[in-house]
Amino acid sequence: MLPAVQGWGQLANLGVLMVGLLAFNSKGSGPYSHGAAGATYRFSFGCIAVLIAWLAYYRTWRMKPVAGSKMKPVKQAEKVSVASTQTTWDASQVWDLLNLRASSCCAATSGMCNL
């Protein structure tokens, strides 16, 4: 069983916000100014933005597509193609399917539907 880690992230975020308020406030203690609160807010979002930008870069240009390379031999062994797993529907097939479901609904309710 894995321990819940969401609380630890919130605690770490609270620590970052407290240190940021202390760093950006010129007095070192409360009451905190609007400028200190705004700078702390921008700093905390800036830290996460840098992390997300690095993760996007790493995922896009550095990470090798492992899942696709592992699935390719399995698909070839099972003779599965993209065309065989996709179906195309036209409007009449969709309408027939909807009518079939509606008629089964009426049959289940002893014909009490008004179609």
Q: What is the mean pLDDT of each run of 10 residues along the chain (115 residues)?
A: 70 87 77 85 89 90 74 76 58 69 55 53
Distance CA 68, CA 4 (A): 31
User: Which amino acid, 81?
Assistant: S
Q: What is the pLDDT of residue 50?
A: 93
- Structural domain boundaries in the chain: 6-84
Q: What is the pLDDT of residue 54?
A: 94
For residue 89, count other CB atoms closer than 10 A to its CB: 8
Alpha helices in 25-109, H assignment, sequence order: 34-57, 66-78, 82-85, 91-108
Instruction: Kindly report the pTM of this predicted structure.
Output: 0.45
Distance CA 45, CA 26 (A): 21
Distance CA 39, CA 24 (A): 7
